[in-house]
Structure 1
Amino acid sequence: MSPGPDSPPLPNKIDIDAVGTFPVFWRLSKQARRLSMRLAPRQNAVTVTLPATCPPAHAIAFLHNNRNWLASRLKRVQNAFSFEAGCIIPIEGVPHRIVHSPAQRGGAWIENGQILVSGEAAFITRRVMDCLRHRALRVLGAELRDMAKTAGLNPTRLDIRDPTSRWGSCSATGRIMLSWRLIMAPPEVRHYLIAHELSHLVHMNHSNQFWQQVKRLTPHRQRAEAWLRHHGPNLMRAGQQELPLT
């Protein structure tokens, strides 16, 4: 976004005390009614969305007035857990320890509260991710089918992917996408997010009618959203190498 000739320039980075310097991306939206901000955990970057009529000075003030919020979120992201031998990660909300078992074969598998990983140590992260993706396809697929059948809804397809800033989506053709990282979330969080995407089969918006549909499918919205606000950034960065701060 380019400000007018008499407007202050929109900064392309922000300095956060005791955390670092981070890129800032500005997104002009004709649909936005208010300023909003989100953290892109995978990129260690901040995106600010502003209405078309918002003065640049107001947008800059909004960015700097939310430094404390940014600092707390960025610190959480920098403490995200890794997929290395000895680390403990949640699977379906239950802690599991990653154990390197180089002499065995089979990639990575879950057994007795552990994720066992065979082969060379250099392959541990990738094999743990592959293991979690396969489990996500099976578990999330079963949960989606069960809820859809109970609700009388008919999604056309489920895709398990790794989006950088959202947990799921639903297309106009009924195709639902869910992040494989949800396999690390507790059952009520998965229940809510699946209900959210299935509700878009009825309402392709976030109207009051949409949220009433969500409420009919799940009682977990408030608790799940609170959990995601606190733990979501870590899940988005889990298994990722730290990005250098500029």
Structure 2
Amino acid sequence: MSMRIGFGGKRMKIINGRRSIELSSKPKSMQLDDIGAQLEVRRHPGARRLTLRVSRTRRAVIVTLPLQCDLDEAGTFLHRHIDWVRARLDSLPNQVPFENGAAIPLRGEPHTISFSGGIRARDAGIAIRNTRSTLPAIVVAGPTDLAPSRLTRWLWKEAQSDLEASVAHHANLLSLEAKRVVVRDQTSRWGSCSTTGALSFSWRLVLAPGFVLDYVAAHEVAHLAEMNHGPRFWKLVNKICPEFETAKQWLQVLGPDLHRYGPSHARAR
């Protein structure tokens, strides 16, 4: 087995169980080619011991080190637990890239992706085609090599539109105003509210049922008045989204699976 770990200007190479330190001008996030996952090595001032986890949303292997820990120890630690890492990665659901014929959810309903082709990019468009015998299709016209990124941009715009409408509705109920609504490709949270009143959301909410997106919008709108999760905050959420508990449960159980879907490489631009 061969892998590289990069952090803090040094790089450690592990080959057949033997370790050596190599100098590197920049820290790197490396790819574990033999198990198909990204490896991240982090130092944390509050860490008291080495920890290892597998991110379900990003399919990444994360090693956290105490500040005083040597990279040599990190390599040994990872090597000792590599079978556990493989088992965790194997338990994750398969990725679903945006490809012709792939099935993805849109607003909670299954759809198939159809790349209809075409020569001129200016003729490219996206439409929903409904049939009685098969799933609805998201038809992406134009050159097929550009279709995945075109579909991604379209989904971002659909998410932006849905979230702006939901935020405006809930903000009006509470006589509040969001300064800005932003859609991002974030993996650690579904939404966030800044102290300046800007709300940020994951574009993948457009894949979830509408009541789930609506709850996340209501949650962040309530933060415009209460920047905490205390009783007054949840009272506001309940006021504008009475069935929020159902949406919360949906996100806890099914939310991580939404991160399976996306373009193979580049993000939308």
TM-score scaled by structure 2? 0.64
Cα distance in 1 for residues equivalent to 2:172 and 2:252? 29
Cα pair distance change 1:94/1:231, threshold 3 Å: same
Counterpart residue type for residue 108 of structure 1? I
The alpha-carbon distance between structure 1 residues 149 and 38, as it changes in their structure 2 partners (threshold 3 A), is: farther
Pair 1:186 & 2:201 matched: no
Is 1:82 paired with 2:97?
Answer: yes
Please, which of 127, 134, 151 is the counterpart of residue 109 of structure 1? 127
Specify whether residues 206 and 160 from structure 1 end up closer, same or farther in structure 2 by C-alpha distance, changes over 3 A only.
same
Other-structure match for 2:106: 91
| Offset, 1:209 | 2.3
Confirm whether residue 200 of structure 1 aligns to residue 223 of structure 2: yes
Give the CA deviation at 1:111.
3.4
Matches within 5 A, 1:223-234: 223-234=246-257
The one-letter code of the counterpart of 1:111 is: R
SS at match of 1:41: coil
The structure whose residues are more often helix, as a share, is 1
2:156 is the alignment partner of 1:144: no
In the TM superposition, what is the alpha-carbon distance from 1:221 to its structure 2 partner? Answer: 3.0
Q: Paired residues, what number?
A: 211
One of 37, 41, 48 as aligned partner of 2:57: 41
How much is the aligned-residue C-alpha RMSD, in angstroms? 3.8
Cα distance in 1 for partners of 2:117, 2:36 equals: 38
Check whether the contact 2:190–2:202 (CA below 8 A) recurs between aligned residues: yes
Hey, what's the Cα distance between the residues in 2 that align with 1:216 and 1:47?
39
SS at match of 2:262: coil
**How do 1:1-246 and structure 2 match up within 5 A?**
23=39, 28=44, 39=55, 41-42=57-58, 44-45=59-60, 71=88, 75-76=92-93, 79-103=94-118, 105-112=123-130, 113-241=136-264
CA distance in 1, matches of 2:191, 2:245: 18
- Structure 2 unaligned regions, length at least 5: 1-34, 65-76, 131-135
The whole-number CA distance in structure 2 between the counterparts of 1:209 and 1:180 is: 28
Code of the aligned partner of 1:160: V
CA distance in 2, matches of 1:226, 1:40: 18
Aligned to 1:12: none
Unaligned runs of 5+ in 1: 1-18, 50-59
The structural deviation recorded for 1:148 is 1.3
- Offset, 1:90: 1.3
Q: What is the alpha-carbon distance in structure 1 between the residues aligned to residue 243 and residue 104 of structure 2?
A: 23
The superposition leaves residues 109-132 of structure 1 with CA deviations (integer Å, 9 ceiling, x where unpaired) of 333332111123222211111111
Asked which structure has the greater CA Rg, the reply is 2
Question: For 2:41 and 2:235, how far apart are their aligned partners in 1?
Answer: 33
Return closer, same or farther for 1:211/1:27 CA change in 2, 3 Å cut-off: farther
